[in-house]
Amino acid sequence: MNVFTKTTLLLLITALIFGCKQADKPHNRLGNASRDDKNGWIYVHLAGSPADIGYQNGYLLSKEIDTLLKVMAYYLPYSSKKDWAFYRAAAGKFMWKKIDKEYQDEIRGIADGLHAQGLKYDTLDIVALNANIELAQYYVPQLMNKIKPGSGDNKAPGNCSAFIATGKYTKDGKIVIGHNNWTDYIIGERWNVIADIVPEKGNHILMDMAPGYIHSGDDFVVTGNGILITETTITGFKGFDTTRTPEFVRARRAAQYANSIDDVIKLMSNDNNGGYANDWLIGDTKTNEVAKLELGLKTVKVWRSKDTAMIGSNFPSDPELIKKETTFDVNDKTTSPNARKLRMEKLVCVNYQGKLDAETGKTIEGDTFDALNNKNALNRCVIDGHIDEDPKGCPEWSEGPYFPMGAVQGKVTTAALAGKMQLWAHMGHPGGTDFLAAPFFKKHPEYNYQAKYLRDMKAYPWTLFSAK
């Protein structure tokens, strides 16, 4: 064999060897995913297959998911009298089989991303995390009521103050939508992710969420085809069906696949398990129409218009749903939902009629005027809620005096901003007040059991986020 032949053969063998190695190169599951921390928020860009989107979520947010799962495992036995093993068992017993395959793949991907960071969580942990509200505050109360009728009442959460408006109610005649998230500070202070998700199928999604979620959870969603979604929960709701599809799955479907208001209504209503029963506020920037979907377990009511303002502060509206599926007292003006309703109606439908835009939306979500007592205050009655400052607590949610709960963040967008896949977000009380843990525990040692994980919740500036 001459030198030329030997050299040629060597080159061919080398090419084959390195060519095989290149072909066998592992798939880069992170792709072009990214993370950016800004003003109390964590912005993440996630894209690709369901499994890859999940992996990116788990990998980029591993520290925060780990902490949130530890918080849940520590806190739920206090708040629900059930341990984390109970929630994992429920996730496996009746939830996993009702999750679409693509979302099962995404959940597996989250677990894989956590494993890659050295954390040993599995799919049941991630399902229980995503379903924690509907399990702890709908399924558990149902079990309580089966043992002792009435013992599970007033457990459905009263979370959030929101509005959506269009037509003569807004400055430019186009849709404006706003929302603030009310929840226990120990959890809500960590509800600080802005997720920019580009799935293989369906809509480009920009939404807030908690770490490790596949849905928004408190529900503020902007999609690439002009659908806007938010909600507020129905206080005193009773009802849950373990044989039907979890709320977190239906909410993600609606965000990813709805192309119209009718689609959102259908996707949320079909095979509804009653978990996390809400008044959904929905907008379609393509038609300039907005709607309110009041979704119980047995009762569904829809209002819609191209010239209206709709509000949510945890009160139900449909008489049939109120009578059949809630313990809500529409005549008790002292409750948080009814007091906030009074203020929201005044601001959204009167004071700012024809002026609603992103800036007035921010002002509304940070409002601290108590319409019940006609004064500025920090308590259960204001839009930017402060149960931790209220000597009455919030009895309609079974929360005692000065319970550390209230508004933890806010979001606002407009049709013009949504067209560019943008939203404004504020971490911490939208009115600008800091919650400081040390002085709180000094005043209220009865809540020291939360001290292990309840920390300061600083109010950051409003920040504009844009999808990539």
Q: pLDDT digit string (tens) for 401-423?
A: 999 999 999 999 999 999 999 99
For 93-127, how does the pLDDT look when each residue is reduced to its tens digit (9 = 90+)?
Answer: 999 999 999 999 999 999 999 999 999 999 999 99
Which segments within 307-416 are labelled E, that is strand?
A: 309-312, 369-370, 375-376, 405-414
For 32-48, how does the pLDDT look when each residue is reduced to its tens digit (9 = 90+)?
Answer: 999 999 999 999 999 99
Q: What is the pTM of this model?
A: 0.93
* Per-residue tokens: 161: 């103050």
Please report how the helices 62-80 and 50-60 are oriented relative to each other, as an axis angle in degrees rounded to 10. Answer: 80
- The C-alpha atoms of residue 465 and residue 197 are separated, in whole angstroms, by 13
> Region 313-317: what's the mean pLDDT?
97
What are the φ and ψ backbone dihedral angles of 407, each rounded to 5 degrees? -75, 130
- The C-alpha atoms of residue 33 and residue 196 are separated, in whole angstroms, by 10
Residue 181 and residue 407 in contact, taking contact as beta carbons nearer than 8 Å: yes
pLDDT recorded at residue 175: 98
In the chain, % of residues over pLDDT 90 = 92
Amino acid at 301: K
Mean pLDDT of the residues in the chain: 94
Whether the predicted pLDDT of 151 surpasses 90: no
pLDDT recorded at residue 5: 44
Whether the predicted pLDDT of 25 surpasses 70: no
pLDDT recorded at residue 24: 52
Confidence band for 14, pLDDT divided at 50, 70 and 90: very low
- The C-alpha atoms of residue 203 and residue 188 are separated, in whole angstroms, by 27
- The closest of 237, 235, 231 to 251, measured between CA atoms, is 231
> Region 342-366: what's the mean pLDDT?
98
Amino acid at 48: G
Domains assigned to the chain: 30-46+156-466 (3.60.60.30)
